[in-house]
Every structure is written in C-alpha cells, then in structure tokens.
Structure 1
C-alpha cells in the first residue's frame, strides 16, 4: 500500500485540460515540425485551432478524492479515451495541468501492458513493478491475483495465447489486487462474462475505501451502481460535471433519442394514427419526447385501418427502457378486451397510474390474431418504437418501476 492515507486528500486534480489533434497525418507532421522549430509549445497560439485541427478534449476540470468514483461517460468519440491516456501519462496535453498523487493502476486498452511472449505469471511481476511494487509485495499478492483472475490452469502459458476475456481478467486482477491509490478503468470490462463483471464491480466497491476510481463505461447501470460523481463529455467538452449521477446519466440518454424501429406484420391491419391523451387533451406528439408525469393516468389511442379478413385480435403496448430492456407490458387480453371490429377503428387504452421510474422510454405496439383455441396467431401489425416518452416527477428512486403500497410502523 502507498503511504498516502488521508481520506479527504485530493489524489487527482485536473485543471483546464485540453488536447487537439489533426485530421490529416501529413499536416499533423508538418505542424509538429513547425512547433518544434519555433518553440511554440506553451504559447498562446496553443489554444487556437489551425486548419484541419479539432479539440479531442477541451478545458476539462475536476478533482477526485480517495473514496470517490468518477463515472466518465459520453458517446464514441466524445474524448473519453484521450482524457484517460493523458491521465495515464501516455500522451501530453496541449494545455492545462494534471496532478496525480500515489500509485496509478490503469486498464484502458485490452492487453495493454502485457508482453505477449511472457507467461501470465511473468506479466504479473512486470505490471506490479511498473506500479512501483517490490518483488516481495508482489509475492504476497500473487496467489490472490491468480485466484481472482480464475487462471490457475493457464497462468504459466504465454499471454499471446490468452483469449480477450482471459486478458481482461488478468489485467483487472493485477490492477485491483495491487490496490493502487488511483485506478483507471476503461470499457474493457465489457469483454468479460457477466459473472466476472459483477465480481469486478464488487471489487471496485471494496477498493473505494482506499482508492480513487475513474470508471468509463457505456453501461449506465454499472455507472449508477459505483459512481458518486459524473462527467458527461460531448465533442471533447464537459456538458455535465456533477455529483448528481442520475442527472448526468439522464442527460447521456437524452443525447441518444432512439429513432430506430422495426415495423412488421402481415399487412391486414395498418396504423393511421397514435396519440397519448391526458385529461381528454392530446399531448404534443411533435416534441422529441412526450413528457408524462409519474403516477398520473393516461389514455393511449390507436386509429387503425382493419381489413375484413382479420379475425379476433388483441393489442399489446410494451415499454422499453434506455438499455433496450422491456420493463412493462399493457395487454388488452388481461383486461378482457378482445377486438373484432373492421374498417376504420379507434382503440383506446387507459393506464390508471403510470409508475415507470424517471427517465426515457420507447413504446412499442403489437396487434396479434387470437385463434379459437386461445393460442396466439398471426402478427397483424408491429412497431417496435411507436413513440418516445420522458417520465418526470418521480419523488425518489430511479429504478424502471416504482412500487406504491401501504406502510406501517409498530413499536416493539
């Protein structure tokens, strides 16, 4: 362990950090020669973009103390990897300052830091030495690292023969079991299987007693589970820098309105119109998201063109969360509504209390034939994304479903 033990001590401080790149290799090399000859580095011109240049990271500021986990999120190309490489000392910034105290463990590229011709065991010693640990300290951690990585049978095999998942397990095991003061983790955990990912998240929670963690992921439930601060990057700039993790995650999702959809069916039913009503008033369906209030009642209205060839049918509305998981269904058959109308048909469905958690969802609709024996028949119509909604006004909690019920307190 490092000698740094003060719980409130700032281990990572980033001030005005900026980094620019050039889109053209030839131009980039020419700029590099010019800068070298003119001694431009550090001058005011460094803050200006030249032709074909862009900011990969622009004016980033944050502090991170022991016991804090920073969730670093944003779309692909937002600047996350560039920022991590600067923090890990792999590239230099064009402006700003990074101050890091203590030992730094980083897992930012699959297989980075491993010598492919050396065995897993030999790479453990190499990585431990890079982190600044003595051979005696590594010896004391060796068995725990091998056990955590679940590589007992393969630890003396060259790393070049490891699968991607095995490399991730070994890399994380070294970084986590050596207990650095600062731990940087990129999206590489997504390569591991679900059991190992859960194991890693649990281990990160344990490390937070003595470590500052920077965690990059596109999997928001993981970020929500372990982060207590968040930075949302967009085109290299921070558009959210807050201790309100839920707000940052919500803004992340709002950057990605889901417009993808699958429309199918046998063509016997066609959708003419879909609207959501509150208090007999149609909501503005031209907005990016239709905002719905938590625990209020709403009416979903379908206007259909139904062929005379159809048989009895039922309607199902599905509610899909931001991670493409179906979290709720609203079936007409459960309410004993089976339809057989033909021609131009209006179907309304009332939700008495919308108890979806705060956030964005898409509504899908499926209209299915019902056969005489009660089995599901043909799909008459299907739309995986008929409308995007934004649920607001949840008093507390951010789970997909919020339960309400009676509470009682009895003094024992």
Structure 2
C-alpha cells in the first residue's frame, strides 16, 4: 500500500526587501489591499529579491528530504514558509497532520516560562491534552537530560540545553511532520548521536525535512535531496551522492579555499596526470607542484597532501620532505603515488606547506583538485592469514 503524501509544495516562492523603509511601505500597502480584497503584487518591486523561488516537492510518510546549500541559499527561509512563520508570495503548500519544528535556537519557547511550562505550552499548540503530555513528560525529561534545570526559566538555559529540550519536545509528541534546521550542530556529539537514533525510530511514521551543512548527516538519513542556490533549486532527486558532490564542487577552485597564507610562497600550479580526473584502482599517478618563493628562505618547504572523501573525511596523507641545499626561488615537486587502493568514489585533495625546521605552517589550500576512483568492485586485496583450531572434549 502506497504511503500517503504528508507534504506537498507546489511552485512556492518568497520575497524579501533589502531596505527597511521599503519593507514597511510594501507591508502596509499589502495589508490595505488585503483588507479591501485586492490582489497584492506577486512580482518584484524596488529593493526586493526572491529568497525562495519556484520550489516544488512531495514528501510521503517514512521519507526524509535534505535541503543543502551555502549560507543564504534560501534553506531556512523555505523552512519558515513551510512552518507557517512566513506566507508564500507564490505557490501552494499542503501539510497533513501535526508538525514539530526545530528551526531556530529557542524558537517557540517563552523565555520567561520554565522548561516544564514550555513543554506543556508547545504540546498544547500541537493539540495535545495535559493528560497526554503527562504520559510523555518523563520520556521527554530523560531524553533532554536537563531534569535538574527543568523548573528554571528558559532564558537562563545555555544554547545546548535549549537544543536538547527543543528536540526532545519536537520528537516525542508523535509529529507527522518533523522540520529540523542546522540547530543540531550546537549539541555535543553524544546528544547528536542520540538524536539520530530517535530519528531512526520515528522516521517510519513521520515525514522529515532536514537542513544541514554536515553532509555525513544528510547522507545518513535522507532519501531525497534538494541543493539550493540563491533561492533556486539547482539539483533535486534521489541521488544523494550526486547532490552532495555538486554541493562540494561549489567550493572547489575558489580563492576562499585558501585558509592560510603567510605570504612566503606562491602556488604556480598543482596538477596530476590523470585523464578526466579519473583514477583506476591499483593505478599509479603523478602529482606535480610548482611554487615560487616570495621570501628568502634557508630551507625547502615541506609539502603535505591530504586526501578526503566525499564527506570531507581525511582518508590518506602524502608527505614530501626534501633535505637538500636550496638553490633558486622556483621549486618543482614531483610525487609519484603507487598502487592506489582507494575505494570507489569521489575525493578532493588539500595542500599544505610548512617549515620543516620549526613545523610552522606557511600555506594551506583546501580542494586544490578533485579525483574520482573507478574500477571493478570485485578487485579485493587478498590477505594472508594463519589459522589455528583447538578442539576440546568435555
């Protein structure tokens, strides 16, 4: 039996104004027009821009969609439209059932009320009776791990305590739809792992909309993905890996990838001899790095390449340290990587240069180039094992 559609978003757009005076003027004008039954403007006016433009998707019970993109891509604005905090300027949203949301740190909390009072307050908004909340209260308290502070005003809570309480409430009140923004990143590792365990428990009966900049989290729970850029959908589909790869590509070959530069070296070029950036398993490849010294040095800089997988987790390191007399200010490093045994998938390479004498960093650039490893998945590496069996008779 096909599961019911709980969230249906049809060509939704939301615009904002960059100028405060224009914002107040347009807002007042739209209110007056609405009072008299007149149509408000659906097109951009002076100093307006589309924060969300023409977004559509469906989400069934048991599905999780991930919204990814750079800061300012429109993810949080879309969540606020879905949660009813903003009205869409275009399009239609249909949501069925109870909606639990964890969008902004402390959103939905009355800072004057205690944690316990806020639990009842949030539950009443979702339509729960006091008796129903009483039955779930202990479970919420135990999950949040803030029992000693439950009767303290929420305004005195730390950011981590607010996230704990907010997620505990949102996930324990049996939501049909759960909306979660990046706020989980505020929690410590132990609590985040507990949150994902809870998500695994409720997902079969819930539709989840999840926003995060942490791609391993997105890859773990989402079966749909939307990559947004300046309010528009750049990629949408069930291929989570492709969406994440396109997200990472946005930060490749970008000056912002240079995270440290003491001004002593200039990178002339850094490349490899792989055709179409494709590496076959067991294939050797050559990395060539050319640098120019901009300052007089008495040493040859130490080079370190760090290989990261599609989730930006380090998987290997390559060190090139040369003890020779320095001659000239143009250096070329040639590093031959033999018999690569990477698993299949996409990788990026980070570059670091440092002083081999003092260990001080000189230069670092992330994503200096990317490669994709391909080949036969059956090319396993054999292990030589020694086995011994002992038989004991009772």
TM range (shorter): 0.7 to 0.9
Distance in 2 separating the partners of 1:211 and 1:317: 43
Aligned residue in 2 for 1:348? 334
Aligned residue in 2 for 1:405? 381
Aligned residue in 1 for 2:323? 339
Q: Displacement, 1:380?
A: 8.4
Whether 1:383 and 2:363 are equivalent positions in the alignment is yes
- Report the CA distance shift for 1:42/1:181 in structure 2 as closer, same or farther (over 3 A): farther
Distance in 1 separating the partners of 2:94 and 2:280: 44
Q: Displacement, 1:263?
A: 3.2
Preserved contact between residue 59 and residue 207 of structure 2 (Cα < 8 Å): yes
RMSD (Å) for aligned C-alpha atoms? 3.3
Aligned residue in 2 for 1:242? 237
Q: Displacement, 1:209?
A: 1.2
Q: Displacement, 1:46?
A: 3.6
Distance in 1 separating the partners of 2:38 and 2:54: 15
Q: SS at the partner of 1:339? A: coil
Number of residue-to-residue matches in the alignment:
375
Instruction: Give deviations 1:46-77, integer Å, cap 9, x for gaps.
Output: 44211111111111100000110110111111
- Report the CA distance shift for 1:124/1:359 in structure 2 as closer, same or farther (over 3 A): same
Q: Please show how residues 2-81 of structure 1 align to structure 2 within 5 Å.
A: 8-39=3-34, 43=39, 46-81=41-76
Q: SS at the partner of 1:343? A: coil
Q: Please show how residues 10-409 of structure 1 align to structure 2 within 5 Å.
A: 10-39=5-34, 43=39, 46-257=41-252, 258=254, 259-264=257-262, 273-278=268-273, 291-295=277-281, 296-303=283-290, 310=298, 315-320=303-308, 326-332=314-320, 339-344=323-328, 346-354=332-340, 355=342, 358-366=345-353, 369=356, 377-379=357-359, 382-385=362-365, 388-394=368-374, 404-406=380-382
Aligned residue in 1 for 2:391? none
- Report the CA distance shift for 1:277/1:166 in structure 2 as closer, same or farther (over 3 A): closer
TM-score, structure 2 length as denominator? 0.84
Q: Give ranges in structure 1 of 5+ residues lacking alignment.
A: 1-5, 284-289, 370-376
Distance in 1 separating the partners of 2:288 and 2:367: 12
- Report the CA distance shift for 1:57/1:170 in structure 2 as closer, same or farther (over 3 A): same
Preserved contact between residue 271 and residue 289 of structure 2 (Cα < 8 Å): no
Distance in 1 separating the partners of 2:184 and 2:165: 11
Distance in 1 separating the partners of 2:379 and 2:359: 32
Distance in 2 separating the partners of 1:386 and 1:214: 30
TM-score, structure 1 length as denominator? 0.80
- Report the CA distance shift for 1:42/1:356 in structure 2 as closer, same or farther (over 3 A): farther
Preserved contact between residue 65 and residue 208 of structure 2 (Cα < 8 Å): yes
Which 10-residue stretch deviates more, 157-166 or 342-351?
Answer: 342-351
Q: Displacement, 1:30?
A: 2.1
Q: Displacement, 1:158?
A: 1.8
- Report the CA distance shift for 1:311/1:78 in structure 2 as closer, same or farther (over 3 A): closer
Distance in 2 separating the partners of 1:406 and 1:215: 41
Preserved contact between residue 227 and residue 235 of structure 2 (Cα < 8 Å): yes
Q: Give ranges in structure 2 of 5+ residues lacking alignment.
A: 385-394
